[in-house]
Chain A
C-alpha cells in the first residue's frame, strides 16, 4: 500500500527512483548513526543503574531530556558549531537516549528476584548474574525501548533537511518551498512507510527475544514455551 502510494506520488513529481533511494539511504544513515550512539551510551548506563541500583538520578535527568525540543536544539547547535552532520546527530541522540536508558534500567532492575537470588545461590558472580540472567530476562523490554527510540528518531530525522542536509525531509521542505504538494506528500508517505517497516522488523526481533523462545530449549521442554 505504502509502496504504491509512494510510486503514485513520485509519478506526480517527476522525481526519479534513484533520488528517492538516495534520500531514504541518507535518512537511514542519520537515524542509524544517532540510534547507534544512543545505544552505546544508554545501554551500559542502563545496565549499571539497573544492576547496581545506583544512579537513578540519571533516569530522572534523561526523562527531563524528553521535554527538550529537537528542532530548537538542532538550529541552536548549527549556529554555535556550524552546519554539518554534528548538530542533527546530537539532537537525535538526545531524543533516543531516554527510552533506551529507562527501558534498559527498568528491565534489569525488575528482573525476577527469585531467578536472580537463585543464580547468586548457585555461586554466580555479579557479572555472570548480569550477563546470563538479568540481560536475557530484560531483553524484550530493552527491545521495546529501542523500538520507541527508532520510531522517534526516524520521524524526527526529517528536520535535518531544515538545516540543509539530506534525508526524506528534503522532499517535504523543498516541496513546501516551491508549493509542489505532491512532493510534500511523497516525503510524508516515505517517512511513514519507513517508520512502519522498521517498527515491523523490530516487532519480529521483540518476538524472537521473548522469554520461552530460547533456541533449542523450546524443542526439548514443552514447559519452556508456557508464558506467565
Chain B
C-alpha cells in the first residue's frame, strides 16, 4: 500500500483503463445479446444451436482469445480493441442465455395482453417484457461485469490490462507493494461496479419488491 500512497499518479489512469475495458464489453455484450436473444425465442432449433455455440465459446481461455484475435483481424497485438472484442464475445455468450432465460420467465398472459393492446413485437419486448425480465437479467449482468473485471487483468501479460499492469510491473521489479496495490484496486473496482449495478437493478425493479412485501 505504501506504493499507492507514494505513487497515486500512475494508479488513476490504470484504474480508468481497467474500468473502461471491463464496463464497455459488458454493455456491448448486452446490446448484442438483447436482439439476438429476442430473435432466437420461438425458434427452438436456432436457440439450441446458439446455446451450444455460446457454451463452446466460453470454454476458450481469455488469454488464448486475446492473442488469437490480432491474427484473425489483423489488429496490432497491443491494441486494446483485442481485449474489448474478446470480453464482448464472452459477455455475449453468457448474456444470450440469460436474456433467453429471463424472457422465458415473462408470464404468457402479460405477453398476450400486450399483444392484444396492439404492441408491435419489438416494442412489446422493450416496453413490456424486458422490464419484467430484469430481476433475472440483472444478476447475470453482475456476474458478467465482475468476471470481466478479473479477466481484464490477465491482459496485462500481453501489455494491456489496466491495473493488471501493476502485477507484471511489480513482479519484474520484485516489488510486492505495487502488486498488492493492483490486487486491492481490482477487488475494490469489482465490488463497487457490482454494487452500482445492483443499485441500478433495484431502482429499476421497485415493483418487484413492492409486490413481495404486499404478498
State whether A78 touches B157 (Cβ < 8 A): no
Distance A79 CA – B166 CA, assembled complex (angstroms): 14
Within 8 A of B (CB), among A138-183: 151, 154-156, 158-159, 162-163, 169, 172-173, 176, 181
Contact with A along B49-62 (1 / 0, CB 8 A): 00000001011111
Of the candidates A75, A80, A154, A156, the one whose C-beta lies within 8 Å of that of B167 is A75
Of the candidates B64, B166, B187, B194, the one whose C-beta lies within 8 Å of that of A187 is B64
Within 8 A of A (CB), among B47-80: 56, 58-65, 67-68, 71, 77
Within 8 A of A (CB), among B125-149: 146-147, 149
Of the candidates A64, A173, A191, A195, the one whose C-beta lies within 8 Å of that of B157 is A173
Q: Which residues of the other chain, A, contact B60 by a CB distance below 8 angstroms?
A: 192, 195
B186 to chain A, nearest CB (A): 5
Given A71-B156, A195-B60, answer yes or no on A79-B146 (Cβ-Cβ < 8 Å).
Answer: no
Distance A144 CA – B68 CA, assembled complex (angstroms): 28
Given A184-B67, A195-B59, answer yes or no on A71-B167 (Cβ-Cβ < 8 Å).
Answer: yes
State whether A67 touches B67 (Cβ < 8 A): no
Binds A, one of B24-32, B91-99, B109-117, B168-176: B168-176
Of the candidates A73, A79, A155, the one whose C-beta lies within 8 Å of that of B174 is A79
Of the candidates A69, A156, A172, A189, the one whose C-beta lies within 8 Å of that of B182 is A69
Within 8 A of A (CB), among B160-201: 163-164, 166-168, 170-171, 174-176, 179-180, 182-183, 186-187, 190-191, 194
Within 8 A of B (CB), among A29-52: none
Q: Which residues of the other chain, B, contact A158 by a CB distance below 8 angstroms?
A: 61, 63-64
Distance A195 CA – B60 CA, assembled complex (angstroms): 7
State whether B67 touches A80 (Cβ < 8 A): no
CB of A199 within 8 Å of the partner chain: yes
Q: Which residues of the other chain, A, contact B174 by a CB distance below 8 angstroms?
A: 79
Of the candidates A75, A176, A181, A189, the one whose C-beta lies within 8 Å of that of B179 is A75
State whether A72 touches B62 (Cβ < 8 A): no
Distance A150 CA – B125 CA, assembled complex (angstroms): 37
A17 to chain B, nearest CB (A): 20
Contact with A along B32-50 (1 / 0, CB 8 A): 0000000000000000000
State whether B56 touches A196 (Cβ < 8 A): yes
Number of B interface residues at 8 Å Cβ cutoff, please give it.
41
Q: Which residues of the other chain, A, contact B168 by a CB distance below 8 angstroms?
A: 71, 75, 162
Distance A26 CA – B174 CA, assembled complex (angstroms): 26
CB of A224 within 8 Å of the partner chain: no
CB of B82 within 8 Å of the partner chain: no
Of the candidates B58, B77, B154, B190, the one whose C-beta lies within 8 Å of that of A71 is B154
Q: Which of B63, B156, B174, B186: most chain A Cβ within 10 A? A: B63
Q: Which residues of the other chain, B, contact A69 by a CB distance below 8 angstroms?
A: 150, 153-154, 163-164, 167, 182-183, 186-187
State whether B176 touches A188 (Cβ < 8 A): no
Distance A80 CA – B171 CA, assembled complex (angstroms): 11
Q: Which residues of the other chain, B, contact A159 by a CB distance below 8 angstroms?
A: 63, 154, 157
CB of A76 within 8 Å of the partner chain: yes
Q: Which residues of the other chain, B, contact A155 by a CB distance below 8 angstroms?
A: 61-64
CB of B158 within 8 Å of the partner chain: yes
State whether B59 touches A196 (Cβ < 8 A): yes
Q: Which residues of the other chain, B, contact A66 by a CB distance below 8 angstroms?
A: 146-147, 150
State whether A71 touches B59 (Cβ < 8 A): no
Contact surface of A with B, Cβ cutoff 8 Å:
64, 66-73, 75-76, 78-80, 151, 154-156, 158-159, 162-163, 169, 172-173, 176, 181, 184-185, 187-189, 191-192, 195-196, 199
Residue contacts A-B, CB under 8 angstroms, 12 given? A66-B150, A67-B149, A67-B150, A67-B186, A69-B163, A69-B183, A75-B179, A76-B167, A155-B61, A159-B63, A159-B154, A187-B64
Contacts A69-B186, A72-B153, A76-B180 aside, 7 further interface pairs with beta carbons under 8 A come to A69-B154, A73-B183, A155-B62, A158-B64, A185-B67, A187-B64, A188-B63
